[in-house]
Amino acid sequence: MAVLPPNVSQATFDDALRRFREVVGEEWVFSSDEDVDLYRDSYSPSWGEPGERMPSGAVAPIEVEQVQRIVRIANEFRVPLYPISTGKNLTYGGSAPNMSGTLVLDLKRMNRVLEVDERRAFALVEPGVSYFDLYNYIQERGLKLWIDCPDPGWGSVVGNSLDRGLGYTTWFFRDHFGAHCGMEVVLPNGELMRTGMGAVPGSRSWQDYRYGFGPWVDGLFSQGNFGVVTKMGCWLLPEPDAYLSGIVSVPRRRDLIPLVDVVNYLENSSCIGQPRYRSPLGAARNEPPLRDLLARNPFPDDAELDRVAEEMGVPSWACQLQFYGGTEVVQAMWRQARQKLAEAIPGATFEDEKYYEMPMTGEQIANERKVAFGVPNLAIFSIGARSEQNPIPVDGHLDFTCVIPKTGEDFLNASRVFFDAMQGTEVLNTNGQFPFSPFLVPSTWHARNFIIIVGLPTYRTNTEANQRTRAWMSQLIEVASANGWSEYRASPTFQDQVMAAYSFNDHVLRNFLETLKDAADPNGIISPGRGGVWPGPYRSNRMTPV
């Protein structure tokens, strides 16, 4: 049910809603309990509890001038706003604000693809444009361009980029914020600003050079609360001539160390797209003798694991390498990769996997992992869905996404640290299993670091289970912080705790950001608490959840 903004009476709030209706029309202001319920966090770890973040209502403009007027009215009535693009940022808060009582500024009606330039490989879009929308726009015009998309494809190009979301092709494009170029922003006072070359009137290079002149401010709007982004440019991939993938497998556990070193070299040299690690030995954990070993010791030492791997004839690790480029180039890069890996790792074996020349046929795409080819989809929701193996699926999940250095030693150490720290807590992932083991594999969305990701379950009707999930998440954040690691994004429930981990020199980073926030947004109108940055009027709302 809707709640009022802090320190705003019902009469004042009603007056503000009336003014918002004058701007966007009666049908685009939402204040009934039934309407507001749709803006709740579908995966909230506090569903139905006092700690659940609840919006006070929503307003949906269709053009930037309406956004400006809404922001000015919000300042007049001291009604805080929480901008969303499509509100599909599940596991990280969805459409719900950081502070209960905040009014959602729903930008989904601003859904125009403003420009796609095939020769210069960029797009300019509004926040309501989804990855499906941009992909379809490109396909309908027969442009030889690819997008890089996350899971799932219904999310916003702008919203995902601003939350530093990630994809699956080559390193330069997987980092969606890193591949953006130029923004249009409504500032907290209602003024309109363009960043980079867009600040030059009549500029034709807005999507070509993102830095412009002087300090670069775009980062303030990434996981930030310094304005409302109403347009954004993004760089696109020219369609490659060919795609090739191959698999390298290595026999011993500590072979992961040279494997990561060589794969890092290949990726940092722009030879490969996203590398995908897996553990063939872990896939055989239910077969003897590995099953018997794990029954005696759930985290055996390296020598024991190597002995069992050799006995079973199963590699300890494997990595899929993906190549994009010219038809002859991808073959040459695969040969180079095999040579370097064979020199570095005795016993490494190789498997030619897939090869396609572009454009792919519909049948080829249908049988593939679509995100590797820039094709948005919703296949991610098959994970954790109702099945024979999972007859009672959970209602949602939180993602713990911890950044660690991209070396084999660091990953093996982190695997053991989390295993030891969480033993005895009964922490479970969304499949009802203990998430840490010797066979944990690193996630590789980022080009320069590994991510340890764990999905923790959330429920609509089990408050006790949600309380356990919150305790597990809080403990994982503490374990990471104690080891010099932290998350790169988080659900609103935990953003204060995560930001608190960035505490060098008595939290000087947070203090600096809040100094800027108070200067740019003295009324605290835009997304109070977003990213753990609280404006003066609401700073007492900061919390560290447990």
Write down the catalytic residue from 489, 510, 530, 542.
Answer: 489
In this prediction, residues 401-428 reach a mean pLDDT of 96
SS (H, E, C) 388-444: CCCCCCCCEEEEEEEEEECCHHHHHHHHHHHHHHHCCCCCCCCCCCCCCCCCCCCEC
Half-sphere exposure of 86 (CA within 13 A, CB side): 21
Cα torsion 229, 162, 47, 82 to 10°: value is -20
Q: How far apart are CA 234 and CA 182, in angstroms?
A: 8
The DSSP call for residue 478 is: H
489 is catalytic: yes
Strands 81-84 and 103-106: parallel
Strands 396-405 and 449-458: antiparallel
Q: How far apart are CA 17 and CA 31, in angstroms?
A: 8
Longest dimension (CA), the chain: 75
* Beta strands, E only, 217-336: 228-235, 237-238, 242-250, 276-278, 317-325
Q: What does the pLDDT look like over 4-36, one tens digit per residue?
A: 999 999 999 999 999 999 999 999 999 999 999
Pick from 287, 343, 291, 283: nearest CA to 318: 283
Strands 29-30 and 57-59: antiparallel
> Contact 345/258 with Cβ under 8 angstroms?
yes
Strands 57-59 and 349-357: unpaired
The reported pLDDT for the residue numbered 411 is 98
Beta bridge partners of 232: 125, 183
In this prediction, residues 220-226 reach a mean pLDDT of 98
For residue 544, report the phi and psi dihedrals to the nearest 5 degrees. Answer: -115, 105
> Contact 183/232 with Cβ under 8 angstroms?
yes
End-to-end CA distance of the chain: 24
Pick from 414, 421, 418: nearest CA to 442: 414
Query: Residue 190: is its pLDDT beyond 80?
Result: yes
For residue 509, report the phi and psi dihedrals to the nearest 5 degrees. Answer: -60, -50
Pick from 150, 235, 200, 203: nearest CA to 443: 150
Beta bridge partners of 246: 321, 352
Q: How far apart are CA 193 and CA 199, in angstroms?
A: 7
Percentage of the chain with pLDDT > 70? 99
Query: Higher-confidence residue: 424 or 33?
Result: 33
Q: What does the pLDDT look like over 230-257, one tens digit per residue?
A: 999 999 999 999 999 999 999 999 999 9
CA distances from 15 to 9, 19, 22, 35 (A): 10, 6, 11, 19
355 is catalytic: no
The reported pLDDT for the residue numbered 393 is 84
- Residue 228 CB partners (closer than 8 Å, separation 6+): 67, 71, 81, 83, 105, 107, 185, 186, 526
296 is catalytic: no
- The confidence band for 389, taking pLDDT boundaries of 50, 70 and 90, is low
- The confidence band for 546, taking pLDDT boundaries of 50, 70 and 90, is very low
For residue 278, report the phi and psi dihedrals to the nearest 5 degrees. Answer: -150, 170
Write down the catalytic residue from 109, 164, 416, 488.
Answer: 488
Write down the catalytic residue from 39, 43, 92, 356.
Answer: 92
Q: What does the pLDDT look like over 139-178, one tens digit per residue?
A: 999 999 999 999 999 999 999 999 999 999 999 999 999 9
Per-chain mean pLDDT for the chain: 96
Question: What does the block give as tokens for 92?
Answer: 């990280």
Beta bridge partners of 458: 396
Q: How far apart are CA 507 and CA 493, in angstroms?
A: 19
Half-sphere exposure of 430 (CA within 13 A, CB side): 24
For residue 115, report the phi and psi dihedrals to the nearest 5 degrees. Answer: -165, 140
> Contact 85/530 with Cβ under 8 angstroms?
no
